[in-house]
Chains A and B, each alone.
Chain A
Amino acid sequence: MTQFNSFQKLTQLLFVFLFVFSVSLFSQDGDATNGKKLFKANCIACHKLDKKVLGPPLKGITLKRDRKWLHAWIKDNITLQKTDKLAKQVFEEGNKLPMQPFPQLSEKDIEDILAYTDDKPKEKKEVTKKQTTETQTVDPIVAKGKKIFKANCIACHKLNKKVLGPALFGITDKRDRDWLHKWIKDNNALRKSGDALAKQVFEEHNKMPMNAFPQLSEEDIDAMLAYFKVGDVKKTIVGTKSTEEVKEEGSSVWITWLVAIVVIALLVYMLLVSKNGFLKIMAIIALILIITYFLFNWLMSIGIDQNYQPIQPIAFSHKIHAGDNKIDCQYCHSSAKHSKTSGVPTANVCMNCHKSISEVAEDTKVGDLGKKELDQEIQKIYDAVGWDSENFKYIENYEVKAIQWVRVHNLPDFAYYNHSQHVTVAGISCQKCHGPVEEMDEMYQFSPLTMAWCIDCHKDTEVNKDNKFYTKIHEELSKKYNLEKVTIADLGGKECAKCHY
């Protein structure tokens, strides 16, 4: 009987322990898992948990905002803005970027998403907001002029600085309108007609001929001249810094801590106070399990460098290049379509544009760096290749210096990855693995780059049967195995030696 009793006791205890243990580990319950799915399906394009992307970071958003308000906002933030003051403020804060309404999400769905976003909230958060307001309104003619200027002249001219051609701000004060019209339309003809001023200008600028622009109409040129007169509209930056206290009343966090304390208390009791030897053994087993769990998780994270964001030798901003100026990724990373490596752009590629772009715009900011610092960063390219930005030529016999970038994405040697396979053959966008690079000032590793992450994609992704390489095998496989879709894995994309050799 005693034997049975002790067995019963043991099972009871084991159940109690397992329950407590599981509660402690999964206090965010099943909702969060579903929430993660929904989050990935709906929100990830603009939001991240712990980082501001297009939208604000959502981790612990429930601590900041009322649940009811959040529900209303997610369902239809545009309608909410009409009535709610907070909503309006949020809209303003987010650079007036409207968020898409999600009427299709149920109450439960939104709760799930919130459960997911509540996962490990940060205690304090420093939020820096930037507001940019235009202090002057822009005349449409000037705006038109600016557009034409950007389309035609910017390769050789700048408004405020001599580059290849002279600075054009205030040129209308120096030269007469008619002369400028003639010059712009066909400066060569003007010179040949014997115009002394035209000849002088030509001589002054090292006899560098300027393109003729016969395609520009009188109006176009006038608009441009108007723009040269007014110049760029100044923008002012209003920065506010506020520290928001995170409320401690976060419900799920509170429960987690409570459960954790209870478990610890229980364990301490079992281990130290209780005289029951059996309980002690159980406590030790529980302790070992808990430690093993956390140790295992920690060990598994070794070598995974997700979010690795090293400081680079040049404060290069992908946001400015790929985001603001919409330069195609493969313009700089040109070997991605041919080779296994995407290719860190060589300095001569930088110089294609930076020959004429030696400084950033007035109000550019990358992190803490302003115009002054960023101009120095551009200077680093010139130092590398030996470009004399004063005289617009390469310094002769210059000993070039290599730029030593810090590698962000590092696959181990035993994993073979080929960019061209994914970029050229599969046509995957760079962002799929590298994340919203066009929004990153400093590049970071977006994806975990683990094998599971690779395999997941290989399992789901269908091959493109329009590629003649796949046509035959696609047809045969789908016929033989009655497959609806033929994935990479079906072709052997999960085999070890496809990536490990």
Chain B
Amino acid sequence: MSNNKKYWTSVEELKGNSIVEKLSKQEFPKEIPTDAFLGDKETLASSSTSRRDFLKYVGFTTAAASLAACEGPVIKTIPYVVKPNDIIPGVADYYATSIADGFDFASVLVKVREGRPIKIGPNLEAKTNNQTNARVQASVLSLYDNNRLKKSSKDYATFDKEVKATFDKIKNSDKKIVFLTGTMASPSTDKLLTEFTTQYPNTEHVIYDAVSETAALDAFQEMYGSRVLPNYNFAKANVIVSIGADFLGDWQGGGFESGYAKNKAPKNGKMSKHIQFESNLTLTGANADQRFALKPSKQIFALINLYNKVTGQSLPSRATSQDKAIKNAATQIKSVGSKAVVVTGIQNKNAQLIVLALNNFLQSEALDVVNTKNVRQGDDTKVAQLIADMKAGKVGAIITHQTNPAYTLNDFTNAVKKVPLNIAFSISSTETTKLAKYVNATPHYLESWGDVNMQKGQYNLIQPTINKLFDTRQFQEALLSWTENTSTYYNYLKNSWTSILNGQSWNNVLHNGTFNINQIEAEEITTVNNIDLNAVAFALARNKSNKLELALYTKVGLGDGQQANNPWLQELPDPITRTSWDNYLLISRVDAEKLELKNWIVDNGAMNGSLVDVSVGGKTLKNVPVYIQPGQAVGSVGLAYGYGRIEGMQEEMQTGVNAYLFVNTTGNVNITKVEGEHKFACVQTHHTMMGRDELVNETSLSDFINKPKKEWNKEPKFSIDHQEVSIDQAALWETFDDSIGTKFNLAIDLATCTACASCVIACHAENNVPVVGKQEIRLSRDMHWLRIDRYYTSDMTNKKGKEEGIFGSGKFFNAQELPQDQPEVSFQPVMCMHCNNAPCESVCPVAATSHGRQGQNQMAYNRCVGTRYCANNCPYRVRRFNWFKYSENSAFNFNMNNDLGRMVLNPDVVVRSRGVMEKCSMCIQMTQETILQAKKEGRPVKTDEFSVACVDACSTGAMTFGDVNNPEDKITKIVKDKRTFKLLEFIGTKPNVVYQLKVRNS
């Protein structure tokens, strides 16, 4: 024993007090007074109440209590004391506002019931930027996020007093005050910041986009003089060549899909041709007519080669594996001249310059340098300078707003420690607020005033649609207070808009949510600066290729990750990988085999995958799951932003790994396989159609033009006794006359559907669809009423199988299951088909599902007993079973488990309970409302008045809904179109949902 010290736990022990001794032997100093509640031992022994009797009493009282519970509860109804004039309980109000969270910008229309926003839709008053993607649709749930900051770190008076005192000190020092914000594009905020700068001259405003477009901004500045993004109107392009630009995703702020879709369906035998060169398989690549995989470093050379081929110049470059395709693309471009456009997503100013030069050479009509976009303004050079300044101790105060640099920006955490005053404005607790001295809780955009100038000439207003839920303060309100301005932000905003409105009515603009200054004066059209492209290309050609390169990307679900605590977005399956609740390292089959990485299906049908450590440029991410992605360029891996956040996140939502670690990191990617496996929540593990051409029909443009319909859109034949008969004769059911009254049909055009998944979230919001969590998804118990199936093509066709002599054997089927390395991709949104001859209806033992006169297959939840026969008999697999009670259940701790999150529920749609089946209702609550409105006004329903949630959300117009008994409705023409087919038509279900086949211009 090296140590002979004795330790006592208390002084009493040292003194040898008896009670302590006693306590050390026995926990309770006295015997527990059981007599007090059990009676003394004697009575207990002589009691005639045996254990059995006791149990009987317990049983009786339980039964009595439960019988007494049969009486209904007393329900209170509490009206307003003073009712606001514009609210009628039970009737929705709509407000036009805008989302501008630094990543998503859109003009939206908000549905408000009894003062609660419950649904976001596109604001069709706005001519541009009115497309609502999945994140915009889901943003209403982020308002009711239980993890939001509910108050600021100090009361605002003290907050401002202390902050201002520090500002004054900094003013008289050589340090500076820095505002680090995301892109706000807000004229009034800019004005406020200018006023602040007048008061504190040593102020700097640095704009930082986590997912940066600095290269494109800098290139545009160099060529056209202003640091904005050019606009692209793809509707004006007949040939689109994209080199690494995911323009149907979030490339340069997104929002290009509606223009793109205008030429994607053949009109008079003409449609656009889209050629994509990319490394990760993106939505844009999946929608392209031709797609070529090319790893990031090679894309640069491909771009220069394309430039050389089109212009006939010979800028320095190198050969790539896809030069043949590049040559072909150049021919296509040259054949249409100004009707072509080239875009690129390469984050390199020189590459962006070449693209601008190429489009300029072509005089491309699609490139719009006048109506430029302001939705990305981040400047990486300035951000890097700021980090250096912070480290050097030159920054006295940093104020962050609409950004989370501690999560997205390497080095920020270290650098900010040198800044004496750190103020964070944030809606929720983040990595950045954790470091801040003062935290100001900000309201959600649905609780705020504001303005945004998304593109030149277009101004949008942001107005509150609900009272502030918490004790929050807007960034602008703080600025007003710091500049000793006593005006409210609303008044300030209104005043600062006087110059923008130029005499127009404020109320009118507020009602419309948007204001356009149409006349862009002629002299504003910018002149093009001359660029020495040779030097540019020379700089580019010096780029080194690596063996394995990393391409970071954003997913349609989480985007840059600011809404990562939103369960709708977490559960939204990625349209390409069909996987939710995760990000993962995308890798090609070839590379995976080399590294012995695998994905495999386990017994319950779920997918598991290998884990790897990824390191680039000395930085390492541990335990990253691997997803083998068909179409991934060999020699490249992909990783999505937005995941891996922990601070301020609910435990269930802490998913994936943080890809921001690798931003601006170049070098070879080193992958080491590690022990263990990852469990994916993948909703579609089957990749191909296995030769069943009845699922997703598609054809080529030449066949579509030159061959008769029966060649490319076969109608199924029905026969009895080998005699061909009509479908009605062959059907088991009697036909139902539906020629009178309203008859709903829904059409989905596979040619223009980009699989953006906005409809999936819209359906979630409209129909109170529950979130079930990763574990349940793994058990194939996802609840989405609307899914978007994704199919890859396979190498193994019937013809090839016959040639190889394996046709019909197990080997053949196994080969069919494997997608090609460079597959073509087809998407197909599938919801309930509302069959006229519905197989589900005839097997329900309690008639809980039945057919309506208007064509809807109706599901009465209260009648359902949960046999699930209907789901078994449904050929489309669209019925969803409530395996659990998903609301008010702590095992499913998502929005329906807290009071705040439940505020998003649509009061017109019931929340389903455990043990019942549910499915798409064709938004019957919306069609009924339309009908009721017409009845109240005593008029027939207007042409194209009917709508449903998914159709409203669709930005490309791929979905159409209407009454086929009304010859004026758009749908009536579509159902008769020659591209129209029905899913699995040959089984005779006669669906009321129709598809229009995809035409590929390949």
Contacts and interface: CB of A to CB of B under 8 A. Distances in A.
B861 A414 contact: yes
A248 to B, nearest CB: 33
Contacts of B853: 491-492, 495
10 contacts: A305-B72, A402-B79, A405-B79, A415-B862, A416-B925, A420-B932, A497-B858, A498-B852, A500-B863, A500-B910
Given A339-B91, A492-B853, A496-B850, A406 B77 contact: yes
Contacts of A477: 740-741
B863 to A, nearest CB: 7
Contacts of A473: 740-741
B82 A385 contact: yes
A468 B938 contact: yes
Nearest to B849: A496
Given A406-B74, A410-B75, A424-B936, A348 B862 contact: no
B976 interface: no
Contacts of A405: 76-79
Nearest to A480: B740
Given A348-B83, A407-B75, A497 B741 contact: no
Nearest to B767: A501
Interface in B895-935: 908-911, 921, 924-925, 928, 931-932, 934-935
B369 interface: no
Interface in A324-344: 335, 338-341, 343-344
A384 B931 CA distance: 39
A338 B91 contact: yes
A457 interface: no
B935 A418 contact: no
B779 interface: no
B936 A496 contact: no
B83 A469 contact: no
Nearest to B84: A346
Contacts of A424: 936
A467 interface: yes
A420 B934 CA distance: 12
Contact of B76 (A302, A404, A416): A404
Contact of B935 (A425, A480, A497): A425
B72 A346 contact: no
A401 B908 CA distance: 28
A346 B80 contact: yes
B859 A344 contact: no
Interface string B64-106: 0000001010111111111100001111000000000000000
A496 B72 CA distance: 24
Given A310-B74, A468-B938, A501 B740 contact: no
Given A405-B77, A420-B936, A501-B909, A412 B82 contact: no
Interface of A: 302-303, 305, 310, 335, 338-341, 343-349, 384-385, 400-407, 410, 412-416, 418, 420-421, 424-425, 467-473, 476-477, 480, 491-492, 495-498, 500-501
A472 B967 CA distance: 14
B931 to A, nearest CB: 8
Contacts of A403: 78-79, 81
B741 A347 contact: no
Contact of A344 (B70, B77, B911, B936): B77
B91 A346 contact: no
B79 A343 contact: yes
Contacts of A472: 940
B15 interface: no
B967 to A, nearest CB: 13
Instruction: Identify the 3 closest CB pairs spanning chains A and B, nearest first.
Output: A497-B858, A339-B90, A496-B860
B968 to A, nearest CB: 13
Given A400-B81, A471-B940, A476-B741, 5 more contacts: A310-B74, A421-B932, A497-B856, A498-B924, A500-B860
Contacts of A480: 737, 740
Given A410-B72, A492-B853, A425 B908 contact: no
B939 interface: yes
Contacts of B909: 501
Contacts of A413: 910-911
B90 A335 contact: yes
Contact of A425 (B78, B921, B925, B932): B932
B212 to A, nearest CB: 46
A407 to B, nearest CB: 4
A477 B742 CA distance: 12
A210 B467 CA distance: 41
Interface string B858-884: 111111000000000000000000000
B523 to A, nearest CB: 53
A402 B854 CA distance: 43
Nearest to A418: B932
B941 interface: yes
B939 A469 contact: yes
Q: Is the interface of B mostly helix, strand, loop or mixed?
A: loop
Contacts of B856: 497
Contact of B81 (A348, A407, A420, A498): A348
A335 B935 contact: no
A346 B862 contact: no
Given A410-B75, A425-B932, A469-B934, A384 B81 contact: yes
A178 to B, nearest CB: 45
A476 B742 CA distance: 12
B854 A492 contact: yes
B935 A500 contact: no
Interface string B748-777: 000000000000000000000000000000
Nearest to A497: B858
B75, B77, B852, B908: residue with the most chain A Cβ atoms closer than 10 Å: B77
Contacts of A335: 88-91
A98 B800 CA distance: 96
B81 A469 contact: no
Contacts of A470: 935
Nearest to A351: B82
Nearest to B936: A424
A501 B910 contact: yes
A501 B72 contact: no
A497 B859 contact: yes
Contact of A346 (B79, B910, B939): B79
A102 B848 CA distance: 47
Interface string B719-746: 0000000000000000001001100000
B760 to A, nearest CB: 20
Interface in B929-983: 931-932, 934-936, 938-941
Contact of B862 (A349, A412, A468): A412
B279 to A, nearest CB: 46
Contact of A407 (B77, B737, B911, B928): B77
B90 A340 contact: yes
Nearest to B939: A468
Nearest to A298: B70
A338 B88 contact: yes
A469 B78 contact: no
A467 B931 CA distance: 12
B676 to A, nearest CB: 45
B911 to A, nearest CB: 7
B862 A500 contact: yes
A401 to B, nearest CB: 7
B850 to A, nearest CB: 6
A407 B861 contact: no
A496 B863 contact: yes
A498 B852 CA distance: 9
Nearest to B75: A407
B83, B88, B90, B854: residue with the most chain A Cβ atoms closer than 10 Å: B90
Contacts of B860: 496-497, 500
A348 B740 contact: no
A406 B75 contact: yes
Contact of B940 (A412, A469, A476): A469
Contact of B924 (A344, A469, A501): A501
Nearest to B932: A421
A239 to B, nearest CB: 32
